[in-house]
Structure 1
Amino acid sequence: MKSARSRAAFALVGVLSVGTLTACGSSSEASDDPTGPVTIEVAIDAGLEQAAVDAFDERIAQFEEANPDIQVETKEFTWSGTTFAAELAGGTLPDVFPIPFTDGRGLIEAGQIADISDLVAELPYADDFNPTIAAAGQAADGGMWAVPIAAYNQGLHYNRQLFEEAGLDPDDPPATWDEVREAAEAIAEKTGQAGYAHMTQSNTGGWILTTETYALGGRILEGEGEDVTATVDNPATVQALEMLHDMRWEDDSMGSSFLYDWGTINQDFAAGKIGMYISGGANYPNLFTQNQMNPDEYGVTVLPLEGDDAGTLGGGTLAAVSSAASEAEQAAAVKWIDFYYISKLTDQEAAVAEAEVAAETDQPVGAPALPIFDRETYEEQQSWIEEYVNVPLENFAPMTEQMFDQPVVPEPPVATQDVYAALDPVVQAVLTDEDADIEALLADAQVQVQILIDRA
C-alpha cells in the first residue's frame, strides 16, 4: 500500500473509462510548447509539520533556480483507496502525484495517467531500475508511464519503550509468530496498551491479512495473466485469522480499537498506544514527520517467515502525471520527478543537497528502505549522506541486517485493491465477534474475490 506510499502504506480504486475522465489536475494555462514557461502543481503530503513543509519549499526553490522556466506550486494529497477514484474523476489531483504499485497497470491500461514513457526513457538511469519494481509502472510494451520512487517490504514495527516496560529486549525482537504472540501478551499485561494492532478498513485489513498469509507460506491469488484464480481460503490465511482470533479473545492483547486504517494506526503507534503492528518497512519518515514519533522509541524488524513458500509482501510508490497535463507540463513534471524523487538516489551532489536541507530542518535522513535500483547503488547513496544521517540506525538493525535475505513476493496481480477491500470485513469480523466462523467467512470471500478477478 503506499508509498505509499508507499505507502507504502496502501474501497475500489475503480478504473474509469477514458470517456468519463474529465479534464483534471492541470494547474496552469501554459502553452503546449515544452520549452516555454510552465507552472506545475505537485503533491505534498497532508498533515506535515511546518519544518517538513519548509524543507519541501527549499527543494522547490532549488529546483526553480535550476529550471527558471518552471514554476512549482503545491497541493496537499495523500493517496487513499476510498477517495482516489473520485479525485481522479473529479479533476482534483495535482499534475504530479503518488500512487501505489497496485494501481499502476490499471491506470495505464485505461489511459488515466499521462504517457511519459518517451521522457522517462531519456533519463540516464531509465534502464537501471530493479526489473520487478519497474514493472509496476510499465505498460504492456515496456514503456514506463509511472516512475518508481520508493519500494518497501513489510516490517514488524515495535515500540522499544513498551518492550522495555514489559520486560522484553528491544534489541532482540520476535523472530517467530509464537514470539509475536507472547510479546503482545506481555505488553498488554504489563503496560495496559495494545500489544499488537491490526489495520481493518480502507483496504488495509486485506493488505495486512495478505501480508500475514505470505509470511505463513500461502497466497491469496495464484496463476498469471488470464489464468489467475482466487485462493483466499488457503490454510495459511486460516492460520493467520486463527492467530488473530486467539490474540484478541484468549490473550486480550490487541486493545480495544478495531477500525484502524493506515493513518490512524500510525497515530496510535507514534503515541505509544501500540506495541507492534505491520506496515511497510520504510514507514519511519511518515511516523516522524506526520505523527511526531519519538526516534528513541522506534524499532522495526523483518516479519517472521514460516512455511515452505513464505515471503514478505513487497510494494511501493509510483510518481504519475495527470493525463490532462499539456506537453510542456509533462516535460516539466518529469524534470520534477527526476529532481525531487530520483536524483538523490543516483547522483552524489543531489543526494548531499537533499540531505543538507532535511538535516537543517530536522527531517529524517538515512532511514533505511528497500532500494528501487540494486543493493550496490543503495549502499553507495547511503555512504554519500553518512555525515547527515540523524535517525537511530541501531534501532533499524533488526530490519536492515535481514531484509535483503528475505524473499519478496509481489502484491496480488489482479484487482488488487478490490481484493483487499473484500477481505477487510473478514478481519473486522474476527476481531469483533468471538464466534466468527473463519472458514465460512473465507468461503464467502473466496466467491467475491473470484468474481472480482473474472471482471478485471
Structure 2
Amino acid sequence: MTTDRFRTTTALALATGLVIGLTAACSGGSDQQAGGPVTITIDGQPPQTQPFDRKIFDADVAAFEKAHPDIKVQAHEGFMDPKTFSAKLAGGQLEDVFYVYFTDPANLIARHQAADITDYVKDVPHVGDIQPALLDVFKDAQGHVYGLPTANYSMGLLYNRALFTKAGLDPDKPPTTWDEVRADAKKITALGNNTVGYADYSANGQGGWHFTTWMYAEGGDIAKKDGDTWKADFNNDKGKAALQTLHDMRWTDNTMGSKQLLQIADVQGMMGAGQLGMYLAAPDNIPTLVNQFKGNYADYGLGAMPGGKGTLIGGEGYMINPKATAAQIKAGLTWIQWKYLNPERVTSDVLNTYKQQGQPVGLPVPPVPDLWTGSVRDQLEQAKEKYATVPVSNYKPYVDGGQSLKGSLEPPNAQQLYTILDTLMSTVLTQQDANIDQLLSDASQKADAVLATVK
C-alpha cells in the first residue's frame, strides 16, 4: 500500500493537473554515436491524454537538453512494471534510467538487475546531503549504491484544526501519544452532530497497511529476517497494544463511530465534510481533501506519528539499467540530479513556477520532499516558506517530530500480508468481544506461510 500518492505520482500532482515535480523522463536512445551526444532513455512521461502534464514534462526535457547539449533524452510513457521488468531487461527493452518504488531496490539489487553506480555518484552534487536512511534503500549489504531516492513520504497524524479549536484543543499542538489521541478524540466526538474523533481503515488491504503503521509506531515490526527466512513479528505485546487501543477507542470511548470497514475514500470524505477529527495519513492526502472533497487548507494540520518510536516510510527513486554504458550512467545521473535532486533549481525556478500556476506550495511533499539534511534542508524549508500558498506552520509538528522517528519500509510480500492483517483491524472494530490473542496467533501463522515464499 502506498497511500493514494506515489503509485500514481502523488495525489498532489494528479489532483491539480501538474506533474512538474515527480514524473520524470530522460531521453532515450541506447548507444553513443562516435563524437556525438550520449543518448539515454527514461520512463515516466505522461500520456497524451494528460496534455498539460505532458507539456510541462516535455518542457523540462527540452530545458535539460539545452543546458546539456552533450546529452539527448528520449522519454517513454509509463513506469517500471515488476511483472514485465525481467522480460524487458532480457529483451533489451528496459529504459536506461527507470523509476522504482522504495520496495523494489532490494530485490533488483539481489538479482543483479540494476547497475552499480557507486563510483559515479561521488561526482553527483548534493548526494552527501540526502538523508542516509533514504540512500540506504538503494544500497546493498556492502554499501554499494544502485540508485538514488527522488521523493519520499512518511505516515503521520492528519487532523482537523477547526474541530480542535471547537473542542477547546490547541490546534498547534496535536497529540504525540496514543493516550493523548484517545483524550482528544473524546473531546472532538463530544461536539455531536455525527462528529467522529478518530477513524481508521479496515478493508481491502488498507486495514493491514495501517496496522503495519501502528506496529511501527509502537516500535515494533511486521516481519523479521531469521537467517535466510522471514517470520511474522507482530504476535507480541506491541501488536496486542495496538489492537487493544483500537478496540478501546471503538467500544469503550465510542470515538470511532459506528460505521466501520472504512477505506481511504470514506475517511477522506468524512474529513473533507468536517466530520472527522483525526486519521493516519501522509501529507499528500491534504490536496486530495481540498480538491476532491471541498476542504480548506487552513483547516488541516499534520502531526508526527503518535508514540514517538517509529513510522512507515515509502517513496520513489531511479535506478540504472545494468547494461548501460559508462557514458549513459553518467548522463542518466546528470538528468536525475538536474530534475529531482537540484536544490538550486527548486529555489530559483520550480517553486516560483508552482506558485504562478496556482499549485499549492508549502506542504512537505514534492517539489520539496523531505529528502535532505543540514544546510540544504534549511535552504529548501526557507524557500518553501517564501513561496508558500498554504499555511506552512500547520505542518511544522509533522516535519519537526518526524526527524526523531525510526522509518521502516513496507514488509516483504506486503499486499498479501495486508490482506491477512485486514482481519485484525476489521474484527476488533466490528466485534466488541473480539479475542485479540487468538486473532494475532491465527494471523501470524498465515503470515508465516506468506513470508516463507520470500526469496
TM range (shorter): 0.7 to 0.9
Of 396, 400, 425, the match for 1:427 = 425
What is the one-letter code of the residue matched to 2:409?
E
The 2-side partners of 1:183 and 1:7 are apart by 33
- Match for residue 18 of structure 1? none
- Match for residue 439 of structure 1? 437
User: How far is 1:408 from its partner?
Assistant: 1.4
Residue 363 (structure 1) aligned with residue 362 (structure 2): no
The 2-side partners of 1:333 and 1:250 are apart by 56
Deviation string, structure 1 residues 370-395 (Cα, Å, up to 9, x no partner):
74332432112223454212220221
- Match for residue 174 of structure 1? 175
Q: Evaluate the alpha carbon distance shift between residue 47 and residue 452 of structure 1 in structure 2; reply closer, same or farther with a 3 A threshold.
A: farther
Q: Tell which has more relative contact order, 1 or 2 (C-alpha 8 A, sep 6+).
A: 1
1:4-403 → structure 2 map (5 Å cutoff): 30-33=29-32, 35-37=37-39, 40-42=42-44, 58-67=59-68, 69-71=71-73, 73=75, 75=77, 85-86=82-83, 88=85, 98-111=99-112, 119-189=120-190, 190-201=192-203, 203-222=205-224, 226=228, 229-255=231-257, 256-261=259-264, 265-266=267-268, 269-280=271-282, 284=286, 293-305=295-307, 311-321=309-319, 323=321, 333-344=332-343, 348-368=344-364, 371-403=370-402
Deviation string, structure 1 residues 348-373 (Cα, Å, up to 9, x no partner):
24432111111111223232467433
Residue identity (%): 32
Q: Secondary structure at the match of 1:198?
A: coil
TM-score between the two structures when normalised by the length of structure 1: 0.76
Deviation string, structure 1 residues 238-264 (Cα, Å, up to 9, x no partner):
121122223233444334252414x66
Q: Secondary structure at the match of 1:174?
A: coil
- Match for residue 18 of structure 2? none
The 2-side partners of 1:201 and 1:104 are apart by 28
The 2-side partners of 1:26 and 1:326 are apart by 16
Deviation string, structure 1 residues 52-82 (Cα, Å, up to 9, x no partner):
77765654453343345534647466x9xxx
The 2-side partners of 1:407 and 1:454 are apart by 29
User: How far is 1:278 from its partner?
Assistant: 1.0
User: How far is 1:137 from its partner?
Assistant: 1.3
Q: Evaluate the alpha carbon distance shift between residue 402 and residue 113 of structure 1 in structure 2; reply closer, same or farther with a 3 A threshold.
A: same
Judge conservation of contact 1:422–1:448 (CA < 8 Å) in 2: yes
Deviation string, structure 1 residues 96-115 (Cα, Å, up to 9, x no partner):
66544233212332345565
The 1-side partners of 2:41 and 2:110 are apart by 27
User: How far is 1:156 from its partner?
Assistant: 0.6
User: How far is 1:283 from its partner?
Assistant: 5.3
Judge conservation of contact 1:366–1:390 (CA < 8 Å) in 2: yes
Q: Secondary structure at the match of 2:302?
A: strand
What is the one-letter code of the residue matched to 1:364?
P
Deviation string, structure 1 residues 297-349 (Cα, Å, up to 9, x no partner):
110112322xxxx61224231313475986587665533322222113xxx24
User: How far is 1:158 from its partner?
Assistant: 0.6
Q: Secondary structure at the match of 1:402?
A: helix
The 1-side partners of 2:195 and 2:302 are apart by 18
Question: Which one has the largest radius of gyration?
Answer: 2
The 1-side partners of 2:202 and 2:248 are apart by 17
Q: More deviation in 104-113 or 319-328?
A: 319-328
What is the one-letter code of the residue matched to 1:422?
I
The 1-side partners of 2:333 and 2:293 are apart by 30
Q: Evaluate the alpha carbon distance shift between residue 198 and residue 325 of structure 1 in structure 2; reply closer, same or farther with a 3 A threshold.
A: farther
The 2-side partners of 1:196 and 1:125 are apart by 40
TM-score between the two structures when normalised by the length of structure 2: 0.76
5+ long unaligned stretches in structure 1: 11-24
User: How far is 1:136 from its partner?
Assistant: 0.8
Aligned length: 427
User: How far is 1:428 from its partner?
Assistant: 2.3
The 2-side partners of 1:441 and 1:290 are apart by 36
Q: CA RMSD in A?
A: 4.2
Q: Evaluate the alpha carbon distance shift between residue 278 and residue 321 of structure 1 in structure 2; reply closer, same or farther with a 3 A threshold.
A: same
The 2-side partners of 1:368 and 1:451 are apart by 38
Judge conservation of contact 1:42–1:96 (CA < 8 Å) in 2: no
